[in-house]
Structure formats: structure tokens, C-alpha cells
Amino acid sequence: MGWLGLDDTDTVKEGCTTFSLHLFLNHLPPHIEVGELRLVRLWPFAHNRTRGNAAVAVELKTNDEKELLNLLNLYWEQTLQPLVGKIDQTTDHQRQQTPTDPGMVWYSSIPDRSNFYLDAVRREVRFDEAPTPTHSWGGGGRIGAAAAVVWPKRNLTWEAIAWRFESRWNTTKRMVCEQAITTVTGMKGMFLTRNPRSQHSLISPRGTCPVLFGVRGRTPEITTAAAKVLVEGPGTEDVLGWRVFATNQASDDHLERSIIGTVESVEVLARGTTVITTEHGQWIAFAESGDVKLMAQGLVNGDQIEAFGLFAEANVLHIEKLRTVQKAPTRWRPKCSVCQRTMKSMGQDQGVRCPVCKQRQTQAWIVSQPENHDGAWVQPPPDARRHLARPIEWLDEPMDAA
């Protein structure tokens, strides 16, 4: 028994990594037992990341590892190797297109105490940093493949993925029963099924790929039940198959710790993207980030704020969660004790003077320190969040035990 990892097999015609794994598992001889499946999202800024930046892994149990390795060799040569160098032609992303560089790893057993997963979700890593697999095939995809295998599942959720028939892969229109989506949305433990504001479904990808839907839940049982409701929904198109994956989605594993800073300036750019300058550099709230952008735009110099996010480059933080720790003190000019007019400054450190009766005083400001603010966290709307982002509604919960 051991673990197979797979990554970077997605191009538009040949499908996506989850589907590639599904097909391989369908063709295994029955005496090879399929255990847990994993879908692991990795460092969002990785240089050669795949479309969804997700790798997959599966536990396979067999008494004949040699036979399995022969099957893996065949699978590699016939199915994955031909993808090498193909260009991903999807329309649903703006990133630079990099040629597909699939990779596959086999570990006879999971290596102990590996930090490789946390490294792979938090920074750029090389394959030689991964625990050495029993066998590996291909190129850059081996990095994500290894990370998916060694993922320690400190904090996990589940996703059921259903694939559509090949004749429908090149349409972006997907038929998933609206009534079934509503049913699933009401099931306790399911999350990110519909956008609570627009009521739009969040379970189907937009581009042309084999995935019909991916529906997320907090236990394998509820996720499996939800997938059945969707697949059997009268308005759902025929599915080729579906499987449930353990995932690191909604784990915040990519975020190390929050940062506290003091606002030095706030600049609103095109479409509302807001740049907050603090002593720790520039913190960016993107146009799509909803409440995060709105909170950023309401900040004033001197406000103390706390953020979770990723540094896209040195001193440039992409904000994922934001809150105000302490509002800046407010200050105003004193009023004249004689005629109640607001007094005016006579220059720096010169005190103030009444514009009417010319009375002077040395105290130039009245300062009010707000009560300890300790404001609530805000986050982007569901469709603008990373797959890895833990909803703020869950932040007070203890981490799930693996």
C-alpha cells in the first residue's frame, strides 16, 4: 500500500487533474483497493502553477506493488507524458500561460514529520526539497504531487467533484438542477454553495473543462449526501462520475500569521482597488474584495489595523482578511472661552488665537482617544476568495482534528 500523487495535467482538451485521476482509478484492476482521495491547493503565487493550483493524491492498497508500478508506468507513458509542453487554452484566467509540465509520484509509505506541505503552500519550493518518493515521473508537477501526498490534514474540508460527458466539455454552460442546489445549500455542514448576496451558484467552474460541479462540505458524509442530491436532481445533466476528496480548502494553511500596522496613507485606485501604506509596506485591497475594500477606503491615517494576507513581493501584501484594532485619535481646535469661535493656529508650536477677540492659548488641539476598538474581521465575498481561505465565521472554532 502507498500513495500516488499527481499534478499539472490540465489542458483544455485533455481535462483536469481530478478527472485524469478519476479515469486512472476507473481502470484499475479490482484487487487494487482505492482509499482516500485528496485535493490540495498550493502556494497561490507559485511560478509554474496550474489553473486551479491544485494537486491530487490517492491511497492505493495492493499486495503487489510491482504490478501497480507497471500500471503507473503505462499510465504515465500513454496518458500523461503526451501532455508535456501543451499550452492551457482556457478562457477563465488571466495569468500567463505556461506549458503543461505534468508530474507523478509514488510513495510506498508516507514519510514522517515532513514540513514539505507547509512550505509548498506558503512559498516557492523545489522538488528536491520534498521527501524522496519511491518512484517519480515527469517534471514540475512532481512538486504539487508530493505536497498532496505529505499533506498532514491538520485542518480539512471535503469536496465532491462531478465530471460531465466529453461531448459537453467545450461548452461553458453547465446544467445543475437549481432546486437541488437550494436543497444542498440548506444542508448543515455545506458551505460556499451559493453567493448569499446574489444567490448565484458557486459550485460550477466557469471555463471549458470536464468538471460539472465541485460542492464543498465539512464532513465526508454530508458532502457525499449533497453530491447525490445534485447528481440525481431532475435538472442536472448526466454525469460521467463523481468522487469525494479530502481537501485543504478553507484551512488558511497558506497564511502564517497576521500583521499589525499603522495607516500612513490610503490611496484609492481605478475600480476601487485601495492601497494602504503602513510601516510594513503597501497593503492592497483589490477591487473585487468587497467589505475588505470598503473598510480600507474608510481608514484614516493613524488607524491601527490587522491583516492576514500573502506577500506577492517584498512589502506588498495582498489582503485576505482585515480589521481595525484601534481607530486613530481624533483631534480638533479648541473654542474661544469668550466668544465660542473656533480658534486658529498661529503656526507650528505657536498655540492658537481667536479670529474675533484675538485671545490666545497654548493648547492647540483637543484630543479624543477612542475606546479600544477591536473591530470585527471582514473578508472578500465568496466568489472573490481563495480556495484556501478559511471563512471568518469559522475563525473562533478550534481547528479540526485530523
Residues of this chain that interact with Zn ion (CB under 5 A) are: 336, 338-339, 354, 356-357, 359
Characterise 71 by phi-psi region: left (phi > 0), alpha (psi -120 to 50), beta (else). alpha
Give the nearest distance from C-beta 342 to Zn ion in angstroms.
10
Closer of 13 and 335 to Zn ion (Cβ): 335
User: For residue 261, what is the enclosing H or E element?
Assistant: strand 259-262
- Cα→Cα distances 7→63, 100, 282, 313, Å: 26, 10, 33, 25
Closer of 302 and 334 to Zn ion (Cβ): 334
Which of 236, 85, 90, 228 minimizes the C-alpha distance to 160?
Answer: 228
Give the nearest distance from C-beta 334 to Zn ion in angstroms.
11
Q: Residue type for 354, please?
A: C
Give the nearest distance from C-beta 352 to Zn ion in angstroms.
11
Copy the grid coordinates of residue 225: 449526501
Whole-angstrom distance, CA of residue 389 vs CA of residue 346: 52
Closer of 130 and 336 to Zn ion (Cβ): 336
- Cα→Cα distances 137→78, 144, 333, Å: 13, 13, 72
Closer of 150 and 354 to Zn ion (Cβ): 354
Q: Which residues face 265 on adjacent strands?
A: 277
Which of 152, 387, 172, 385 minimizes the C-alpha distance to 286?
Answer: 385
- Cα→Cα distances 394→66, 251, 324, Å: 45, 10, 19
Closer of 122 and 341 to Zn ion (Cβ): 341
Tell me, rounded to whole angstroms, the distance of Cα 223 from its chain centroid.
Answer: 19
Whole-angstrom distance, CA of residue 355 vs CA of residue 361: 12
Whole-angstrom distance, CA of residue 107 vs CA of residue 127: 14
Whole-angstrom distance, CA of residue 146 vs CA of residue 159: 20
Give the nearest distance from C-beta 335 to Zn ion in angstroms.
8
Closer of 266 and 336 to Zn ion (Cβ): 336
Closer of 73 and 350 to Zn ion (Cβ): 350
Whole-angstrom distance, CA of residue 244 vs CA of residue 224: 7
Give the nearest distance from C-beta 363 to Zn ion in angstroms.
15
Which of 18, 396, 60, 47 minimizes the C-alpha distance to 242?
Answer: 18
Which residue has cell 504531487? Answer: 145
Q: C-alpha angle with apex 211: 205 to 212, nearest 5 degrees?
A: 80
Give the nearest distance from C-beta 261 to Zn ion in angstroms.
41
Closer of 200 and 335 to Zn ion (Cβ): 335
Give the nearest distance from C-beta 337 to Zn ion in angstroms.
8
Closer of 339 and 346 to Zn ion (Cβ): 339
Mention every residue, 6+ apart, whose C-beta is less than 8 A from residue 99: 84, 85, 86, 87
Give the nearest distance from C-beta 366 to Zn ion in angstroms.
16
Give the nearest distance from C-beta 353 to Zn ion in angstroms.
9
Closer of 269 and 357 to Zn ion (Cβ): 357
Give the nearest distance from C-beta 348 to Zn ion in angstroms.
22
